[in-house]
Every structure is written in structure tokens, then in C-alpha cells.
Amino acid sequence: MSGSVQWTKDYAEDLDGRDPLRRYRMEFYLRPNTIYLDGNSLGLLSKRAEKSLLACLEDWKEWGIDGWTHGRHPWFYLSEQLGEKLALFIGAEPQEVILTGSTTVNLHQLVSTFYKPEGKRTKILADALTFPSDIYALQSQLSLRGLSLEEHLMQVQSRDGRMLAEDDLVAAMSEEVALIILPTVLYRSGQLLDIEKLTTEAHKRGILIGFDACHSVGAVAHEFSKWNVDFAFWCNYKYLNGGPGCVAGLYVNRKHLGNRPGLAGWFGSKKEKQFDMEFLFHPADSAGAYQIGTPHILSLAPLIGSLDMFMEAGIENIRKKSLQLTQYLMDLIHHELGEYSFTIGNPLEDHCRGGHVCLEHDEAVRITKALKVNRVIPDFRSPNIIRLAPVALYNSYSDIWQVVQILKTIMVEKQYEKFSKDRDVVA
């Protein structure tokens, strides 16, 4: 887009007119005169998600406990059915995906299953830029085994504080490493790692590898099965618009299916055995074995409508528009805001970039507050990052053009100086 981009509102409107996904914008509840660019933290509610949630409430109202096997969306197999749909977006087989738990609970489950320190191989390899909750979970898992955090948790450092050098990650894959946990997309800078390369290099060294895909599922097309990724986990409330606290998801490669999960629970049983009420656990032959407790049906329900929309739109089309939106945003920032000390902290290349733009500025926290007053909803990450995440299904090119004009006005008029430098409780 950079070579042919124009800087006028008419150009943005022309792009909107030729956008094959433009009709989906009307499917979402958009606040009047507000531009929402925080879809990488919490996606907006769609009318289809609302409809499927209300349908599940009606089933509860009408059927009571029989809603597990009757109604519009019987609950007993709902996690598996939605996992089958979501498998299309991550390049997995249906039996390899289940919707269950939360991101960190699923990480605990997967580490409990796949981390088997033995002999020299006792260390977990992670990185220094990952989301802190993942590190808390890894620290907890080591502590439960009585292992020293300093000795057994390795975090590969970033060379520039923004991104990870994949060569550094590979170099750290020593014979002492038993398990690797990395993000698909870094939550701050938006860097998309080469998942296939890292998986191949880990397996060459006999190491299992899993990925936190919270900042990529729904925005980036993956091929987890083809790449032979051992496992992955993610939330569904960001790009997939499943709602606050929505049930999360996990993927386990078919070669590992049939093994007993580290944390057993009754919903991980084979369906035909679950209600036998035996004290002998019979794990499912699918990723369903990694469920622990009863599915949170009302937190799953919005995904019924949302995933139908994603299947209709196609993840390849969504990824294409996402890249075009972020490229257009970066082009406009370079053109319009060059004199205001902004730095783009995310990768510029399409194959290295996730779904958001990382905009750095010393006054980021105050600029974020000024944006909100101007009815633009961004995301702030301490100490100096404004994350702007244009979402393919509900953001337009006109949104992007207008946001940059608002940013320019904020800087020209120094509107940010009216605000304190203290971040909000929820940033």
C-alpha cells in the first residue's frame, strides 16, 4: 500500500468502498461517533454473538437441566463443536482443539502435562517480553516441583526491548531445556514470530514447544498441525469477540492425544463414560481430555455467533485486511506525525507483524487519555506504548484516516498536557 497511498479522506472512503469485508461492520455494536481500536484487548459485541447468547438463555429457561442434550445448542458437546469450527482458523484437525478454561488455567494444564524434567533436561525456556501471567504460571509450576526459579526458568532477553531475535531463541535451546513456551505475537510490539522455524529447531533438539496465541488467533492464520506445534493456548475475547471472560481455547497435536492430562477433571472424560461416576478416569481421545470442569456455557455462547461470522468471512480475508489497515495506519503516521517524536515500535514487514500497531511516545499515557476524550479508544502499555488495533471486521479505512487526524490535532494543540501522567487502573 505504501507505494500508492494517498493522504485524503476521499482516498480512505474509496478503500472502504472496495473493501469486501465492509458489510460486517454493521453487524457490530459501534458506539456513535467513537472509533474503537482496542480489539486486541477486548473485541466488540456483534449482533450474532448477542443472538447466540440469548438463545442459550432461552434454552436454559425452557429446558432447565435438559438443555445439556436439547435445545438450539445442546451444551454437552458445545465445547467440542466450537473447537471444530475454531480449528479452521489455526490450521488444526477438529480433535486437536477444545474450548475450555482460561488462558492461564490452560497453560497450567499444558505445563502440568508436558513438562517432565529428567536428567539434564530440567529447564523451561521462555522470553523476557512475554505476557507476565505466563511467567507467573511457569514460576508456580516450578515451585510446585520444588525447583529453583533462578536455575530452571530461562528467559531470553530482547536486544532492543521491543522484539525477539529468533536466532537468540534458537541458541538458547540447549540440552538442558525440557519445554519451551513462547508467544505467537508479542503483546507489546506486535512482533509475529516464525512459529514453524522455532518448532522445527526445538524438535531437532528433542524439545517440546508450545505457544501462547492470545494476540494472533482471529487475526493471523496459523498452520499448527502442519508445523507440528506440540500445543498452544489462547483467549477468545480479543480478535474473536467472545466477550469479557469468554472461555479460552487450547490445541494439542494429534501425536500427543490419548495421553493422560496433567490435571484431570470429569469433563475430560470420554463422553460415553462421563456419567458412569467411576473413580477410574477415562480421558477422551481428543483435546477434550484437557477439560477440567464443567464448561461455562453462558461464556461460550457468544462464540457460537461470532465463529459463524468468522467462518463466513474467512481468516485469509481477515488477515489480508488486517495487514492493509495496519500498513495504512503506519503510512499515515509517517506522513502526518513525523515532527511529533512518535516511533513505530512494531515490525514493518507483513510477515513479522501481528494485528496491532505499537506507537511509542514519551507522553503516551497522556496522549492515550486525550484520545479517549476525543472518542478514540486505544490501549496503553507502560511506560510509553499506545497500542492501536484496527480490526478487520468492524474498523474501516476512514476510521484510520480520522484517528491520525485526531492524533495530529492533539499534538498540535498539546491537548495531552491537560492530563496527569498516572495511568488508569485498567490500562
- Give the residue numbers of the binding site for pyridoxal 5'-phosphate: 103-104, 131-134, 212, 215, 237, 266, 294
**What gap in Å lies between CA 158 and CA 398, rounded to an integer?**
35
Backbone angles phi, psi at 355, to 5 degrees: -105, 5
Is residue 201 within 8 A of residue 170, CB to CB? The reply is yes
Annotated binding site: 103-104, 131-134, 212, 215, 237, 266, 294
Question: Cβ(250)–Cβ(232) under 8 Å?
Answer: yes
Q: Are 37 and 368 in contact (CB under 8 A)?
A: no
**Do 399 and 371 touch, CB atoms closer than 8 A?**
no
| C-alpha distances in Å from residue 148, one per residue of 111, 141, 143, 269, 347 | 16, 11, 7, 34, 35
